[in-house]
Amino acid sequence: MQREHEEAMRVDYAEHDRLSRAMFADRVTDTDIDRIDQQRITIEQRWRSGPHAEHWDYLSDAHEDWRRSPKVMHRLLADVEHNGGAGMTDVEHRSQQQARQLTGNDRPARSQVTRER
């Protein structure tokens, strides 16, 4: 995948994610939901029917994995990074990072600090 195609995919995926969240905002009407959903479908179909469908699908799967199992995904990504990227292409690694960021899992975990008195 050429860099400019990857960058376009990442921008489109971020917009797809934003639209997905917008559907559930307060005061969204059924008409708004239909319009937003059609925008999402248009973006998704463009990537799923094109030459980079496997990259879009990987990013979508990574996004879902980070949403459902962030602790597992943190361990997976830490292992990959510890092993110098072994087992994951650069594009896949960047997809994991984007999925982590979009799901809000890029923030450091809050440690349980106890105070002694």
Each residue's pLDDT, cut to its tens digit, for the chain (117 residues) gives: 999 999 999 999 999 999 999 999 999 999 999 999 999 999 999 999 999 999 999 999 999 999 999 999 999 999 999 999 888 999 999 999 999 999 999 876 554 444 444
3-state helix, strand, coil in the chain (%, to 5): 70, 0, 30
Q: Tell me the whole-structure pTM to 2 decimals.
A: 0.86
Helix (H, G, I), strand (E, B) or coil at 29: coil
Report the candidate in 63, 72, 65, 61 with the shortest Cα–Cα distance to residue 101.
63
- Neighbouring residues of 46: CB distance < 8 A, sequence distance ≥ 6: 12
d(C-alpha 84, C-alpha 90), whole Å:
11
